[in-house]
Amino acid sequence: MSARVISIANSKGGVGKTTTCVSLSEAFAAAGMRTLVIDLDTQANASLLIFGHAGDEHLFRAINDYATISDWLLENFFAGEQRRLSEFIVTNASDVTFKGKPLPLDLIPSSPRLRKTERELIYELTAKGYAMEALQNQVGKRLRDDLNLLKAEYDVILFDCPPGISVMTETVLAASHLIIVPTIPDFMSTLGLDLFTGDIMKNLRNRDIATLPVVLATRFDNTPHQQVVLGAMRDASNAKETEFAMFKTIIPLKSGFASNPIELGPDPTLQAKWPGDALNIIESLLGEVREKLA
* Amino acid identity at 72: W
The sign of the torsion formed by the CA atoms of 213, 109, 279, 253 equals negative
* Amino acid identity at 84: R
What SS3 state is found at 214? strand
Q: What is the tens place of the pLDDT at every residue in 221-233? A: 999 999 999 999 9
Output the tens digit of pLDDT for each of the chain's 294 residues: 689 999 999 888 889 999 999 999 999 999 999 999 999 999 999 999 999 988 999 999 999 999 999 999 999 888 778 899 999 999 999 999 999 999 999 999 999 988 888 888 878 777 777 766 776 778 888 999 999 999 999 999 999 999 877 778 888 888 899 999 999 999 877 776 777 777 666 666 655 556 788 999 999 999 999 999 999 999 989 988 888 899 999 999 987 776 677 778 888 999 999 998 999 999 999 999 999 998
* Number of Cβ within a 10 Å radius of residue 288: 15
CB under 8 Å to 273, separation ≥6 — which residues? 26, 96, 259, 261, 264
β strands within the chain, DSSP E? 4-8, 35-39, 97-98, 101-102, 105-108, 156-160, 178-183, 214-220, 245-252
pTM value is 0.93
- Supply the angle between the helices 69-77 and 114-127 in degrees, to the nearest 10: 20
How many folded domains does the chain comprise?
1
175/158 Cα distance (integer angstroms)? 11
Instruction: Check if the beta carbon of residue 118 is closer than 8 Å to that of residue 68.
Output: no
Q: What residue numbers bound the domain in which 161 lies?
A: 4-293
Give the model's pLDDT for residue 276: 87
Provide the CATH number for the domain around residue 82.
3.40.50.300
